[in-house]
A and B are shown apart, each in its own frame.
Chain A
Amino acid sequence: MNIKEFTKGLFKENPTFIIMLGMCPTLGVTTQVVNALGMGAAVIFVLTFSNILISALKKIIPDCVRIPCYIVVIACFVSIVEMVMHAYLPSVFNALGVYLPLVVVNCIILGRAEAFANKNSVGDSALDGLGMGLGFTMSLTLIALIREVIGAGTITLIPIGSFSGTITIPGLSANPVRVMSLAAGALLLMGLLKAFFQYLQNRKEAR
């Protein structure tokens, strides 16, 4: 097992900002921080387990039907997450809506199965899944945080005890820049962040 397989997903090969995979849910669910966290948790679970299983079955799965096999495995895990969330975390399930079943066709998961899990050991694949999932969650949370603060003037987290789950930012919540919570704002912000991370990378390489 190589710990590098875990850390590469966080920054160096971050799925959202560097590999640019899984843009659809990234733009779709990042209207509130809590949605980003829920989506991230679902992706971490599905990605880790599908990577482990696909890596373990890599010698059995025939090359010509590998994609259908991957999709069946991934869809199975997504359905499990969906049913468990529906039963035990109904509020997160409701908030994620249509994006949860769409995890099946999330390119990160199929991409990692195809590019990593079917060539590497089970341990490395598990680390890769965890790292990529965590990197995806971090990017999603960052985008959601910026969009929610500017677009709605609030930060929505999970309600615990007396804490209602929503932090309101004075000033901004009365006059939010509403475009940020719409699809156009997501694209604008995504472009700006991508440019920023590209700048950081270029500067690092120039040194």
Chain B
Amino acid sequence: MKTYIKVALILGSICAVSALLLAFVNQVTEPVIKALASQEEIAALSDVAAGMKIGAKEAVADSDLVKERYSLGNKEGWILKVETNGYGGPISLVASLLNDGSIIAAKVVSSSETPGLGKKSELPGYMDMFIGKGASSQIPTSKDMLSSEDSQAVSGASVTFTAISKALDSASAYVKSIGGR
């Protein structure tokens, strides 16, 4: 009995010291991380806004993937923040859309995808295959709907591609469902 208590105490104190140390490091790094995240979000928003005015942030409750919306320009469209699940965990992306549901621009804000494969979705140019789609032409949600060149670009990272295309598709559907206004 005595040995068990001793063992438990030692393990418990090692855990307690670790927790204290982590709490201290977290105290130092958390504000820096938060500031970085909000900077990145602002940068991503202005990247996809195509020079138009960005409205105030509004929360969206009635959609699976769309989490936030910002009106764009003079009621010409919306910027949506969409969250989906990729290969390595959650992917968060922002997309700007015209009122007819077509995509102006999109950008992955954060993801935990595999470096060199799914992580490529964060590179400029990846979203080119979705731009302009969503109104009269469908957003490609499977590899068969891509040109052979684009389909090569996503090979090795099909899960990431599927997640992003579904996210953009639901963003487009969301804009259509609110009828632009």
Contact = CB atoms under 8 A, between A and B. Distances in A.
B40 to A, nearest CB: 8
Interface in A76-129: 76, 79-80, 83-84, 86-88, 90, 94-99
* Residue of B32, B115, B119 with most chain A CB atoms under a 10 A cut-off: B115
A64 B32 CA distance: 40
Nearest to A84: B29
Interface in B106-120: 110-117, 119
Contact of A87 (B10, B36, B155): B36
Interface residues of A, number: 35
Contacts of A159: none
Contact of A69 (B14, B26, B111, B115): B14
A87 B14 contact: no
A31 B28 CA distance: 32
Nearest to B87: A98
Given A62-B6, A86-B29, A76 B22 contact: yes
Contact of A97 (B3, B30, B115): B115
Given A87-B29, A87-B32, A98 B89 contact: yes
Contacts of B21: 76, 80
Contact of B116 (A32, A60, A79): A32
B119 A98 contact: no
A83 B33 contact: yes
Nearest to A30: B116
B25 A95 contact: no
Nearest to B113: A97
B153 to A, nearest CB: 11
B33 A61 contact: no
Contacts of B116: 31-32, 35, 152, 181
Interface of B: 3, 6-7, 10-11, 14-15, 18, 21-22, 25-26, 28-30, 32-33, 36, 88-89, 110-117, 119, 122, 155-156
7 contacts: A73-B18, A76-B18, A79-B25, A86-B33, A87-B29, A94-B110, A94-B122
